[in-house]
Every structure is written in structure tokens, then in C-alpha cells.
């Protein structure tokens, strides 16, 4: 039985900033909307900014988690589409980190009216090595180990918070504690997202994307090689590739000013 | 503390650069353990952590470190220069742009956690299976009475926030006792099964279908007005007629319908009252010659 819910509440949508044009900021795997806090100051004076958590992440409504829907990136893209529809947004500038770039791509292909421009921060359409044509950086076993690490770390944190978890009634506060710890890895929600993210091969979508796209890459990213960015740039017709002189996979957190400059340059 | 003392602690201590992940220095124990010399240029986290650990680090650990400055008790896998993979637990602190790692190998803890993960997975599977079993009617695999009540209560709660028309359709097989008496209980069960699969086939994913009692079925039609129900019921009658009894007679059903209106939602017993209304309509259909639908 599918029940319609209040999307704004479901996805913990927050609107800030002032301006005619909307930036829709979509967090990546592992975290929530708070990871954008470092980038927001660069845009809040001239753009309306919409932030949200995917269902299963951050402060989203976990009751709305549908295992089937959220075991595929297209399910997360539905969140994006529903948020735009609820706020009557169209032609937004979508900024997605890592896997959210692919999610944005799904949404832009499905609903081109919603997304006017797509900005991908450290994207990868496929994390798997599929030789000889494509090297996403990881073997299947690596990703299976990741799922296992998620499980074990959650257990570790659960025991860390054990005093709070004693007794039925305190279960909720334990959960809140974990959720407020910025990145929650309750495996029930995080594992489907991890599998959807790291076992996906969405390279076939790249030629279908007609939205003007900026691919922002890092010179040295342990998760995504520069070659992956070049591969995407070649396959997406209206794309610009900008490899920043920065390192790491969380550029919007570590070097927000460089990311902001590159975005502004693209938007101008 | 002298360097030689720091080197002797059975704990891997090393320092990395946050942005470049370059390993800047470390204690002797770490170098011995990893069979690595930290003086090597261009040594980075990719040389000491497994690939899965790197994803975990980039996705969870690093954002938290940037935000909170410290991350404790994260389980990762170390990779030694010899290619050994060692489970380890790390406490990491961010000072300036530099990360300070205190890591201890935790093979035994890892084994315990592995057992816990497996135990939890097996419990989850069993719980899922048990939950499924408590919700289903064993013969027809439709929802049972309790599950329908639970699901309908959720819908009512939602309808109180935002009204959506819902109709309750109560379906009863005509002369079922005679079918059982004449053709045996096994045949009776077969009729129930065929009706169950037929009902499942004619509803949408958003509707609920339950075995309400012996030969009684209840369908909750979501987002459906009372005036639109007749069409749905006609389809049921039509499909039921295709089921022929051994004496070549058509199987028939009687149907009673009740709609949940906005004004009903204030009532605490709305479900019971509406089902009773559908039941009244069903009896009207029975008394009126069966093989028909009555709207309540």
C-alpha cells in the first residue's frame, strides 16, 4: 500500500538564500545535507538554495523507506523529482556530490523540465572495474567488503551508545543520537544505498543526457580517477570538464571556494 | 617522551595530510607492522588502507572529521606492504589540516563482529519470515484479518491528514456450505484459492485484499469513490462466473460495499463501523437473490 506523504517533511527539505534562480543541492552516499554548509555562504546572497536528505539519510522520515524503491538510483531520483514538484520548481541548477551526480542525471533525463543545468562534484557513473574498456577503480570484492565494514561499524557505534540503548523507551533516543551524528549508517537504510551506488553501471545514461553539465573533478581523488571524468566528458554532449587543483573526494567541504568559483564560472 | 618510547607502543601511530592523504610520519611500531618506511615519498592512505576502507573513510570518516574534529572507534582494514589484510580500529583527530591516527589491530574483535553480523542477518531473515507468516492467511496467502486491520488503521491515520476516498468491498461466496457438502472440503478450498488469485489479479498495487473469514473476503480499494465501485464489482462477478462448479453451475458471489467518508474519520471505531455497514449491504445482496452487489 502506497501512501502519499508530505514530501517536504519526508525529505527534510530546507529552503534558504535569496534569488530568482534555484540551486538544488544533493548530498552523496554516507552523509546528509549538512555537508553543503561549507558551500552555502558563497551562494546564499544571490540564489535560492534548496537542501534535502534522501529518504533513509539524515533527518528524513525513515517510515517512508521503501526497500524496493531505494535499492536503485532511479528511486532516489524520484525523491528529487517529487521535491521539485512539491515546491513547484522547474529549471533548477542541480548540484550533486558523487553518486548524486548520477541521481541528478536520472532526474534530468526523466524530467528535463525540472533541471536546467547539472553540476557534478566528483561524479562516477560506475565504480566497478569493467576491463578492458572501463576502470571505475574498484573490484566487486572491495564493494562487498565495504558493505561488511558498514555492518561492523554500525555494531561498533551501537555498542558505543549502548548505555542509551538499554530498554525499549530509550531505543528512540539512541537512534536520534546516531542520526544526529551527521552520518548515520544504520545498515537497513545505508546498505541499499551503498549497493545502489557502488554496484551500479550507469554509463549508458551519459549519451542520453542533454542538459548542460559541469563535471568538477579533483586532481587526486581516491574514489574517482581523472580518467573517469574524461570518460564522462566525452560521453555527455553538452559537458564541461574542470579538474580543480585540489585533492580528495569531498571538494565542496575541503575547498569550497574553488568549487564555488568553478560553479560561478560555469553559470556565467 | 622519547622517540624510542613512542616507537615501542603496540599501537600504530601515524600522521596524514587531510587533503592529499599523504602519510607524513609515524612511529616505529606502525612501520614494522605495515612493513613500510614512512620516509618514502608519495606514500598515501591508499598504501595502508584497503579500498573498501578508503570508500568508508571518504564517505563517513572524513566528513565527520571535518565537521567534528574527531572520530573514534572506526573499524577499517589495514594493508601491509606484504599484502596482508589486518582488521583494525582507529581513533582519528584533525588538528589544522593534519590527521593524527591511533590504530590498533583488532583481529579478535573483528571475528566477534563478524559473528554478530551473521547472527543479526539470520535474526532479521527469521523476523521477516515470521512477520510475513503472522500477516498472511495460510490457505490463500492473502492478508489475514489482523494484517488488514493494521494496514487499514495506517490508511485511516493518513486519511485524517489528507482525505483520500477508500471503499471497503466485502465479498461472500454464495452457497459455500453446499459446495463443501456436495463436493468436499478439498474442493471448497480450491474454490477459495481460485477466488483469492482472481481477486489479487483484479486489484491495483495500492489496494488491500484479505481473507476476512471462512468464505468471506475483504478488499480495500484505495483512491476510489463509491460511484466507481460498481464497475469494479461487475468485473468481479464476471470473473467469478468463469469458475464452474463440478455440476457445471456458475460460481457466484454476493458483495456489500461501504465508503469511508470524511465525516466518518472522527470516529474512533471507523473501521469496525464501516465493515459492519458493508456487512449490512452484503446481507441485503443475499436477501435480494444473491449474485449481486449492494452499495451501503
Grid coordinates given for A134: 572501463
pLDDT tens, A13-45? Answer: 999 999 999 999 999 998 889 889 999 999 999
Task: Report whether A136 contacts A127 (CB < 8 A).
Answer: yes
Would the CB atoms of A183 and B64 count as touching at under 8 Å?
yes
Q: Do B117 and A148 touch (CB under 8 A)?
A: yes
Contacts of A246 in chain B (CB under 8 A): 19
Contact between B89 and A220 using a beta-carbon 8 Å cutoff: no
In A115-134, the residues whose Cβ lies within 8 Å of chain B are none
- The pLDDT of residue B161 is 85
Establish if A220 touches chain B: CB-CB under 8 angstroms.
Answer: yes
Give the pLDDT of residue B205: 84
Handedness of CA A207, A209, A210, A212 (dihedral sign): negative
Q: What is the model's pLDDT at position A4?
A: 54
Of B44, B42, B41, which Cα lies nearest the Cα of B57?
A: B44
pLDDT for position B177: 96
The CATH number for B138-295, chosen from 3.40.30.10, 3.40.50.12780, 3.30.70.270, 3.40.190.10, is 3.30.70.270
For testing contact with chain A, the best of B51, B143, B148, B159 (most A CBs within 10 A): B51
Residue with cell 536528505: A53
Inter-CA distances, A262 with A42, B18, B45, Å:
12, 22, 28
CA distance A181 to B94: 17
Q: Of all residues in chain B, what percent carry a pLDDT higher than 70?
A: 100
> Chain A residues with CB inside 8 Å of B161's CB?
6
Q: Is the pLDDT of residue B162 over 90?
A: no
Q: What share of chain A is helix, strand, coil (3-state, %, to 5)?
A: 45, 20, 35
pLDDT over 90 percentage in chain B: 84
Do B245 and B179 form a contact (C-beta atoms < 8 A)? yes
> Closest by alpha carbon to A57, among B93, B84, B59?
B59
Please state the rounded mean pLDDT for residues B194-203: 93
User: Does A86 have pLDDT greater than 60?
Assistant: yes
Q: Residues B50, A138: contact at Cβ < 8 Å?
A: no
CA-based nearest distance A20→chain B, Å: 30
Specify whether the CB–CB gap between B228 and B204 falls below 8 A: no
pLDDT of residue A168: 40
CA distance B221 to chain A (A): 10
Catalytic residues of A: 98, 221, 249
Length of chain A equals 268
The verdict on ipTM greater than 0.85 is no
B52, closest residue in chain A (CA to CA): A146
Predicted TM-score (pTM) above 0.90: no
* d(C-alpha A266, C-alpha A215), whole Å: 10
pLDDT at A165 over 80: no
State residue B60's pLDDT score: 86
Helix, strand and coil content of chain B, in percent to the nearest 5, comes to: 50, 25, 25
Q: Are B55 and A255 a contacting pair at CB < 8 A? A: no
> Does residue A215 sit in helix, strand or coil?
strand
- CB pair distance less than 8 Å for A155 and B74: no
Chain segment B131-156, per-residue pLDDT in tens:
999 999 999 999 999 999 999 999 99
- The pLDDT of residue B152 is 95
Look at residue A232 in the predicted model and tell me its pLDDT.
97
Place of cell 468436499: B184
| A158 has a chain B CB within 8 A of its CB | no
Instruction: Please name the residues in contact with A144: beta carbons below 8 A apart, sequence gap of 6 or more.
Output: B52
What average pLDDT does this structure show over A47-69?
92
By residue count, chain B amounts to 296
| Integer angstrom CA distances of residue B14 from B21, B65, B206 | 12, 16, 56
B168 Cα to chain A: minimum distance (Å): 15
Q: Label residue A158 by pLDDT band (50, 70, 90).
A: low
Mean pLDDT for B110-121 is 92
pLDDT above 90 for B78: yes
Chain B positions touching A182 (Cβ under 8 A) are 63-64, 67-68
Bin B140: left if φ > 0, else alpha if -120 < ψ < 50, else beta: alpha
Residue A180 has pLDDT above 50, yes or no: no
Between strands B23-26 and B166-173, the pairing is unpaired
Question: What confidence tier does A160 reach under pLDDT thresholds 50, 70, 90?
Answer: very low
pLDDT tier at B35 (50, 70, 90 boundaries)?
A: very high
Q: With an 8 Å Cβ cutoff, is A34 touching chain B?
A: yes
Closest residue, chain B, to A34 (C-alpha)? B67
Contact between chains at A142 and B206 (C-beta distance less than 8 A): no
Question: Backbone phi, then psi, for A248, in 5-degree steps?
Answer: 100, 175
Size of interface A-B (CB pairs under 8 A): 126
Write out chain B residues lying below 8 Å of A135, CB-based.
none
B-chain residue closest to A181, CA distance: B64
Looking at residue B39, its pLDDT comes to: 86
Domain ranges of chain B: 3-106, 138-295
Q: Which pLDDT value is given to residue A183?
A: 55
**B3-106 CATH, one of 3.40.80.10, 3.20.20.70, 3.10.520.10, 3.30.450.20:** 3.30.450.20
B178 and B188 Cβ atoms separated by less than 8 Å: no
Beta bridge partners of A213: A118, A239
> In the predicted model, what is the mean pLDDT of residues A242-263?
94
Residue B253 · residue B291 · CB < 8 Å: yes
Interchain CB distance below 8 Å, B117 and A222: no
B205-233 per-position pLDDT tens digit: 889 999 999 999 999 999 999 989 999 99
3-state secondary structure B212-243: CCCCEEEEEEECCCHHHHHHHHHHHHHHHHCC
pLDDT (0 to 100) of residue A169: 42
**Across residues A50-79, what is the average pLDDT?**
93
Mean pLDDT of chain B: 94
Measured CA distances, A130 to A46, A124, B22, B119 (Å): 43, 13, 28, 34
pLDDT at A185: 59
Residue A174: pLDDT above 60? no
Query: Across the interface, which of B58, B75, B205 has its CB nearest the CB of A156?
Result: B75
Amino acid at each position: 500500500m502506497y501512501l502519499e506523504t508530505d514530501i517536504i517533511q519526508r525529505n527534510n527539505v530546507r529552503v534558504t538564500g535569496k534569488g530568482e534562480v534555484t540551486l538544488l543541492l544533493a548530498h552523496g552516499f554516507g552523509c546528509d545535507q549538512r555537508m553543503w554548509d561549507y558551500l552555502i555562504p558563497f551562494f546564499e546572497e544571490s540564489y535560492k538554495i534548496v537542501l534535502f536528505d534522501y529518504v533513509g539519510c539524515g533527518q528524513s522520515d525513515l517510515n517512508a523507506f521503501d526497500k524496493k524503491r531505494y535499492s536503485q538510483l532511479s528511486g532516489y531520483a524520484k525523491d528529487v523529482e517529487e521535491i521539485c514538484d512539491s515546491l513547484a520548481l522547474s529549471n533548477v541548477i542541480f548540484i550533486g556530490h558523487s553518486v548524486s551526480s548520477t541521481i541528478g542525471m536520472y532526474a534530468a533525463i526523466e524530467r528535463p523540465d525540472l533541471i536546467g543545468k547539472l553540476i557534478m562534484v566528483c561524479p562516477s557513473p560506475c565504480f566497478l572495474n569493467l576491463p578492458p574498456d572501463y576502470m571505475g577503480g574498484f573490484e566487486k570484492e572491495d564493494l562487498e567488503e565495504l558493505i561488511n565494514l558498514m555492518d561492523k561499524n554500525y555494531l561498533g557505534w551501537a555498542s558505543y551508545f549502548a548505555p542509551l540503548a538499554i530498554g525499549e523507551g530509550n531505543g528512540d533516543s539512541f537512534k536520534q543520537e546516531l542520526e544526529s551524528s551527521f552520518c548515520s549508517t544504520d545498515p537497513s537504510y545505508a546498505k541499499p544505498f551503498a549497493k545502489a551506488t557502488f554496484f551500479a553501471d550507469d554509463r549508458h545514461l551519459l549519451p542520453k543526457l542533454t542538459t548542460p553539465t559541469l563535471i568538477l573533478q579533483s586532481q587526486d581523488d581516491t574514489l574517482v580517477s581523472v580518467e573517469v571524468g574524461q570518460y564522462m566528458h566525452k560521453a555527455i554532449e553538452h559537458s564541461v570538464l574542470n579538474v580543480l587543483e585540489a585533492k580528495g573526494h569531498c571538494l565542496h567541504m575541503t575547498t569550497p571556494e574553488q568549487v564555488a568559483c568553478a560553479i560561478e564560472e560555469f553559470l556565467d | 617522551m622519547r622517540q624510542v618510547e613512542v616507537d615501542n607502543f603496540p599501537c600504530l601511530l601515524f600522521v596524514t595530510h587531510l587533503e592529499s592523504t599523504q602519510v607524513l610520519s609515524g612511529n616505529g611500531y606502525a612501520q614494522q607492522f605495515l612493513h613500510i618506511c614512512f620516509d618514502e615519498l608519495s606514500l598515501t592512505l591508499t598504501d595502508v588502507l584497503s579500498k573498501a576502507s578508503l570508500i568508508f573513510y571518504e564517505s563517513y570518516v572524513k566528513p565527520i572529521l571535518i565537521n567534528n574534529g574527531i572520530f573514534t572507534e572506526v573499524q577499517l582494514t589495514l594493508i601491509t606492504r606484504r599484502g596482508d589484510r589486518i582488521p583494525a580500529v582507529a581513533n582519528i583527530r584533525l588538528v589544522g589540516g593534519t590527521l593524527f591516527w591511533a590504530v590498533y589491530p583488532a583481529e579478535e574483535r573483528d571475528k566477534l563482529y563478524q559473528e554478530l553480523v551473521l547472527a543479526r542477518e539470520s535474526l532479521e531473515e527469521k523476523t521477516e519470515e515470521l512477520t510475513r507468516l503472522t500477516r498472511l492467511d495460510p490457505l490463500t496467502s492473502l492478508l489475514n484479518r489482523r494484517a488488514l486491520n493494521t494496514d487499514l488503521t495506517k490508511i485511516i491515520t493518513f486519511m485524517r491528514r489528507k482525505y483520500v476516498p477508500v471503499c471497503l468491498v466485502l465479498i461472500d461466496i454464495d452457497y459455500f456450505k453446499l459446495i463443501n457438502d456436495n463436493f468436499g472440503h478439498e474442493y471448497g478450498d480450491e474454490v477459495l484459492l481460485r477466488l483469492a488469485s482472481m481477486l489479487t489479479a483484479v486489484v491495483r498495487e495500492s489496494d488491500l485484499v484479505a481473507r476476512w473469514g471462512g468464505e468471506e473476503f475483504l478488499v480495500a480499494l484505495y483512491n476510489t469513490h463509491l460511484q466507481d465501485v460498481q464497475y469494479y464489482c461487475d468485473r468481479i462477478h464476471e470473473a467469478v462466473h468463469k469458475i464452474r462448479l463440478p455440476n457445471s453451475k456458475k460460481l457466484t458471489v454476493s458483495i456489500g460495499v461501504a465508503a469511508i467518508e470524511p465525516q466518518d474519520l472522527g470516529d474512533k471505531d471507523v473501521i469496525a463501523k464501516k465493515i459492519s455497514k458493508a456487512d449490512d449491504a452484503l446481507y441485503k445482496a443475499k436477501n435480494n437473490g444473491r449474485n449481486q452487489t449492494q452499495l451501503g
